[in-house]
Structure 1
């Protein structure tokens, strides 16, 4: 969000901004009228003397600038303001300036004018004509007030006293004008409801339902209420399939399903389960359209995805309905590429692709071309660049010297910008480099805003690929040696003890003069530069090579050379194989047992393992995961592969990544503060349950469909499960792995079952879930709550997000009111400085920046026990220091965490304060700031 303080006064007196008068007429914006009105109010109170007039002119000019600035922030691209809204801003500006007598005079004047207008309206009512609505064909029709009221009433139905249909209706009518277009009419109640979300989260559902009314009008071609749509959903779905097939958007095989059986399974009432942000995202980015006209409603969307994933099943109707049930009830959601493309003619359903780049021009530019092709069809990319020789190394073919890795990364950066996944979302790639590479120091600076811009990559992500030996040297205060990979070719494919032995041999050769191009420096010096650049630029991320490899089930057939764009995928890559992963996430909060009525001040920071197990609906979780794993496995066979190396790898190993979302929601539902032992215990136990059922489901799929091709020799075939592989890593380290290895389930039976075969080489990976969690209205992945009230910006616009759990608690305490809303705005969503909120409640609602990052590491370490891949783990620092960042990342390594993602620290303000009445707040100096990282490819920000 831009700062609310600005010295530049926008000029709203142009054709972009207009004013709706009280009679509905629309007139050009005239800033001089604001000055005139305020001047009259000042002079009425202070008189007309020369000195007074001069002071008035100066004060009025200053206040007018403030009013115009506030209005511009509301409509930066142009639009209409109601006259009452403008006058509200004038009144607010006067109060903030301490001009209370002037403000009082202004309010009394407004009230008198309002009474006068009411009298005139009463006298002239029979002479007023009905507002006319301009249709798409240019004709006009009278405003149908009864239908407008009916739509609003229907949108509020079932949401109780928290919402007011009358308030929305009156606000909507106030902003209508004679000659309003049909499109503006449908948008008006949405806007009226949307601004009320900060008052109560229930308005997020009202806004979504009002948006749904507009979508139904677009999809069906005529006004249609939810009740009317319920009756015709079956016929609509058949027409929708025919339209999609006709325009080559939908696979014709979907029409070959038993449509009577399919349409009977549709649940139109689930269209009402969306919040506004989720439905708007679906409308903007996911629903199929013909020449910009959407043809999908939500349940048609979910069923299209489900049918596409079941298209090669024997009983495809049964499986499609099972898939539809978990999707439409928000129990499990497939990743974005699957939602985009399932059931279409080009079903590119996979999420992530990992490649390794060869050390020659053919290999380098083939990799860049591969990036473009993979990005074109909605895949996130991770590239391993470690084999490319360093700056100054000898090139035999030209008898010259190499320019190193960086110039090629500039080309990769520009390719990602150019190929933007069909306009649906921005192309995104992450380059990985091992810590011993001689170009590592320049690699660390790629995201800096200073220096030679030809050697900067402002749009691409970067990550360090760190061997354990380096971390041991850091801990010991020892030196580290950098090499060019063409001089030390084995290091790229070696891990653990084998890497250590060969690396030390190369160091001895360098000291003996047998290797000329190298650099020796203190390991801690390089480590500090890594952390400094990470703090300053957000890159490169910290990821650990040896945990990813030594715990990999597939180490018998290759090496993990990098992770992916979001650091949760750890799969082998080679010149012959591009690793592919297929993702989806369980909604954890949807698998809790309904808790009894809660004391709003009672927290559970010490919840036991037995209590946590009792709180999770294990049977429902097992059912959901069994369906989800089948869906993910089907992706592999249905998927469109842009490259043969990706297809061969995916069919040979069949990896999938089942993750989770709604972790923070689950903690809030169970009243567990994130910074507590119970939260760490919950992370451990919930992940153990998910892992157990995912592995069990894959083993059952192997019995039904056969094991994956490279199963023989894998850790699975040896009966070594993720919990067992920790010991392999511990034995390779001089310090072992400092991690609690306790377990709640009996794994012995499953261990023997797995020996008989697995359908998937990898089963588990926790993605950021940035968009799909927004669609279903839960917290992202494993993140702590960002803020309790904030404005979220993404490709679909700006959306107010309010913590509904906090609102419910404050309502029970009779503390939820307009003053509390203003307090949360003023303190950027933090409850800590608000005196009215009981101290006992504040730990539960501490935001990400108020939570010590060690708690995220401890929870992440417990999850990592059960993962055969990794997790997208952001770290938040409210008051960062070099020592704290150093300690946190060393702790991550000691706990055996494989990868970390963004480092986030406090920066620019996140909440607009133009409507905060600061004089009535529990104000304190200073306020929390939002994430400072401004990265267009950041999943957590998108």
Structure 2
């Protein structure tokens, strides 16, 4: 076979060629990318060798004419660039890879491109070459009894000194890494790691080599993810301890028990000196706090979790991270306890909760707690007024709020529509869309301090005259000056519109300057006034109107949702009718992730402070540990309430609103993990019942905790006149919605199991510390940190590669692996089958039917089960939930039924529609499966082919 000659080694003694490579990784000759050959020698990496090998592979399969075509020539260049990017994206300053890793990536690139025949030929060639090498080595083996002397590997220190590799320490670190974990092998890790080392390797690269060698084994057993994390932890320790001690320092995990307490004090003082944390933290009793640190909790991270923390959360200076994980959690806890009376005791209490992963604060809190700018709030909601100064003030507020990691929800309904009269100039308005374009570009420009993309969602009510153009904002056709390709959008839909859709009636569009009071009305009051305006329009008393069929507009909404992923479907009236603080304002929109429902106006920017309970950590085979859950909720609610007083507010309207109403949003994550622990199927009545009971418990404990805080600290200032004050709890507010909707348009379970009468009386007597207490956010990042499933989401796939800002990570469902092991079904064949079937068990017939049902992935579950579970939760939640809906094969009829069901079941909002027209998991025995998709995605039109992460994780992390 001549498919790929020795050029497949993809190495060369010639100077490195940086011409045909992926941008940003090899743009200068001072980025020394190298390859370890099988004999241990190290040679420069040359991407042109990849192009040669790929071209020869195409020649073997398709012949000279096809292989010489411009199409194949271009494809070869693109594939080589993909290989380059996969190998070195995490090595911007140079690095070393093993020849086998290079060839694995070539194989993967061919599979991604759909070139199965070429890839098969490539695989066969590799196997044949491997066999020949084995034969050659066997013949060349020394015949004497004495074994050949093993060559000594050296490392090169930062100052250029060469010294022998400390293999004894290496073995100790690996032994610690596998300790207590089943299904992992220290010898295998050591052997793979040694393969990635070469004589003279830079000392700083040894740790990376260990991690990279281990991460490829995660697909074989999920516990290797923890092994990889523990090996990464060794590098993290070295980097941080060296910085804190001012000299090269390394320590094993066992040695950290004695080191951690001292390092806390050193860290706080140094970070304060560098003006990275508040000097007030130096006034804590640091010895007491240091003694409370639990070093063993460093071992509970998954690789994805620790790498995410390292890349994006740890305090650093000049790129050097000197914040260790347990010090990170203590720093966050110290910030949250800074105004407590016995703040050391509270800081330890908060630290214990965070570091246990039983609860996790939201990303802004983790970023900024204890720093000089403690902007800890997750979400900001604003109303944009209908005058030029107010519009640009609102856009400026967006920039200031986004700068410090806040996610934004903007209500644009007040802004007059296209063609409306402008009194000051006697001209006609261009409508709301041009201003949305400015808001879109502002979100792109202000990227949250470089930590992540700015994120904003625009809301518009369905009766606005510009709604049809608003719906098309994300289209890739039309006038680009009236498109917003980066901003999210959502329809804010009144119940009357949904009734007109159901009854196939007419719908009238208005400009808000002709009917300004519609913006502030909801329920029956809205219906009455809206019909009056319709009558006025019929008489010609309102000129700028448009009558359309409600069903036609609804279909257009769903069509654009399918085509572009936007605008989302959210419902105005349940958000207002059930709003606990409706006596002081109107809810005009939700937030970036559709779980926050708070009122806004020109003088108040609503703020919400989020955190999420790891419900899986509180669940056993027989259900929830109520005692443990109550304890967690009590501490979590105190932490969230503390955010409000400690928080940095970049605009005064936000401070005013937050201190007046004190809303917080306690949510949950790990829901599907909790189902696995109880042997429950997501698509089942039992799972729906668990969603009901678990949310009832969280609701009961959260309201109780806020009530207890009110006894200690006083009720929130605007409590009088609220639904709480009237004895109406979230479960009771369903009756208000029923009255407004009527029996035909609200069908929701109203059962309960706990003693709500006693709690209701206590709330009336003593008040609430917080106007709102619950909201289920997406937890896109903090669930990664805790190593559990995202929010209330079903498992995306049982085996896939997740991509985010920290790189690519193999994700395997550990519950599935454990069960397949118990059945004797977990082996290399099963792994390859899972890759072939895109992480799905459904077509693998040797797996029992009940197991296949339990591990059905998100796109294999009827989305109506998601709505039913969401409905059961919604009755207990005073705000909302970020509810993604998955449809494997969307159609107009299916979408129509699904979103009508969501409305009838009392949901306040929905979030992304996840839809995949086709998926393909790489069918290879290489190091990482990679999921790709074609069809609707979160941020791309149907023609795009994004990675699976854009389906699963849209980086909506402004909340979480």
**TM-score normalized by structure 2?**
0.89
Cα distance change, pair 121–492 in 1 and its aligned pair in 2 (3 A): farther
Please show how residues 104-143 of structure 1 align to structure 2 within 5 Å.
106-116=129-139, 118-119=141-142, 125-126=148-149, 130-143=152-165
Match for residue 632 of structure 1 among 640, 650, 656: 640
Q: 2:655 matched to 1:647?
A: yes
Deviation string 1:92-114 (CA, Å, 9 cap, x unpaired) is 99996479997775444222223
For residue 144 of structure 1, report the CA deviation from its aligned partner: 1.6
1:665 aligned partner: 673
1:443 aligned partner: 470
For residue 40 of structure 1, report the CA deviation from its aligned partner: 13
Match for residue 389 of structure 1 among 410, 416, 436: 416
Cα distance change, pair 75–718 in 1 and its aligned pair in 2 (3 A): same
Match for residue 17 of structure 2 among 8, 14, 31: 14
Match for residue 147 of structure 1 among 158, 163, 169: 169
For residue 848 of structure 1, report the CA deviation from its aligned partner: 0.6
For residue 291 of structure 1, report the CA deviation from its aligned partner: 1.9
For residue 31 of structure 1, report the CA deviation from its aligned partner: 8.2
1:393 partner SS: strand
1:620 aligned partner: 628
Cα distance change, pair 57–685 in 1 and its aligned pair in 2 (3 A): closer
Cα distance change, pair 711–55 in 1 and its aligned pair in 2 (3 A): closer
Please show how residues 859-878 of structure 1 align to structure 2 within 5 Å.
859-878=869-888
Tell me, in whole angstroms, the C-alpha distance in 2 between the residues paired with 1:376 and 1:894.
39
2:341 partner SS: coil
**TM-score normalized by structure 1?**
0.90
Q: 2:777 matched to 1:754?
A: no
Deviation string 1:261-293 (CA, Å, 9 cap, x unpaired) is 212211011011111100001101111112211
For residue 840 of structure 1, report the CA deviation from its aligned partner: 1.7
Tell me, in whole angstroms, the C-alpha distance in 1 between the residues paired with 2:474 and 2:144.
62
Contact kept? 2:269, 2:282, Cα under 8 Å = yes
Tell me, in whole angstroms, the C-alpha distance in 1 between the residues paired with 2:626 and 2:592.
32
Tell me, in whole angstroms, the C-alpha distance in 2 between the residues paired with 1:39 and 1:494.
67
2:285 aligned partner: 258
Match for residue 856 of structure 1 among 857, 866, 872: 866
Match for residue 456 of structure 1 among 483, 503, 511: 483
Cα distance change, pair 661–120 in 1 and its aligned pair in 2 (3 A): farther
Please show how residues 524-923 of structure 1 align to structure 2 within 5 Å.
524-593=551-620, 595=621, 615-734=623-742, 735-756=744-765, 757-907=767-917, 909=919, 911-915=921-925
Cα distance change, pair 40–876 in 1 and its aligned pair in 2 (3 A): closer
Contact kept? 2:565, 2:937, Cα under 8 Å = no
For residue 217 of structure 1, report the CA deviation from its aligned partner: 0.3
2:405 aligned partner: 378
Tell me, in whole angstroms, the C-alpha distance in 2 between the residues paired with 1:535 and 1:336.
30
Tell me, in whole angstroms, the C-alpha distance in 1 between the residues paired with 2:885 and 2:407.
21
2:190 aligned partner: 169
Tell me, in whole angstroms, the C-alpha distance in 1 between the residues paired with 2:50 and 2:389.
66
Contact kept? 2:107, 2:122, Cα under 8 Å = no
Tell me, in whole angstroms, the C-alpha distance in 2 between the residues paired with 1:89 and 1:340.
35
2:87 aligned partner: 75
Deviation string 1:473-506 (CA, Å, 9 cap, x unpaired) is 0000000000000011110001111111111110
Contact kept? 2:10, 2:99, Cα under 8 Å = no
Cα distance change, pair 538–125 in 1 and its aligned pair in 2 (3 A): same
Tell me, in whole angstroms, the C-alpha distance in 2 between the residues paired with 1:101 and 1:871.
50
Contact kept? 1:790, 1:910, Cα under 8 Å = no
Cα distance change, pair 102–22 in 1 and its aligned pair in 2 (3 A): closer
2:632 partner SS: helix
Cα distance change, pair 659–54 in 1 and its aligned pair in 2 (3 A): closer
For residue 930 of structure 1, report the CA deviation from its aligned partner: 8.9
Deviation string 1:286-316 (CA, Å, 9 cap, x unpaired) is 1111221112111111111111111111111
For residue 836 of structure 1, report the CA deviation from its aligned partner: 2.2
Match for residue 304 of structure 2 among 277, 280, 287: 277
2:958 aligned partner: none
2:294 aligned partner: 267
1:512 aligned partner: 539
Contact kept? 1:91, 1:103, Cα under 8 Å = no
Tell me, in whole angstroms, the C-alpha distance in 2 between the residues paired with 1:101 and 1:330.
46
Cα distance change, pair 760–64 in 1 and its aligned pair in 2 (3 A): closer
Tell me, in whole angstroms, the C-alpha distance in 2 between the residues paired with 1:41 and 1:448.
40
Q: 2:260 matched to 1:233?
A: yes
Cα distance change, pair 329–854 in 1 and its aligned pair in 2 (3 A): same
1:605 aligned partner: none
1:320 partner SS: helix
The farther-off stretch of 375-384 and 179-188 is 179-188
Contact kept? 1:569, 1:765, Cα under 8 Å = yes
Cα distance change, pair 525–76 in 1 and its aligned pair in 2 (3 A): farther
Contact kept? 2:608, 2:664, Cα under 8 Å = yes
For residue 91 of structure 1, report the CA deviation from its aligned partner: 10
1:403 aligned partner: 430
Q: Which runs of 5+ in 2 are unaligned?
A: 1-7, 19-25, 27-32, 109-115, 243-248, 941-948, 956-960
The farther-off stretch of 337-346 and 375-384 is 337-346
The farther-off stretch of 10-19 and 693-702 is 10-19
Contact kept? 1:349, 1:640, Cα under 8 Å = yes
Cα distance change, pair 86–505 in 1 and its aligned pair in 2 (3 A): closer
1:549 partner SS: helix
Cα distance change, pair 86–530 in 1 and its aligned pair in 2 (3 A): closer
Deviation string 1:124-172 (CA, Å, 9 cap, x unpaired) is 955x763332221222222222222221111111113x11111111111
For residue 324 of structure 1, report the CA deviation from its aligned partner: 1.0
Contact kept? 2:239, 2:321, Cα under 8 Å = yes
Q: CA RMSD in A?
A: 3.3
For residue 759 of structure 1, report the CA deviation from its aligned partner: 0.5
Tell me, in whole angstroms, the C-alpha distance in 1 between the residues paired with 2:401 and 2:625.
39
Contact kept? 1:386, 1:433, Cα under 8 Å = yes
Tell me, in whole angstroms, the C-alpha distance in 1 between the residues paired with 2:630 and 2:774.
15
For residue 746 of structure 1, report the CA deviation from its aligned partner: 1.6
Cα distance change, pair 118–413 in 1 and its aligned pair in 2 (3 A): farther
Report the count of equivalent residues. Answer: 900
Cα distance change, pair 99–715 in 1 and its aligned pair in 2 (3 A): closer
2:731 partner SS: helix
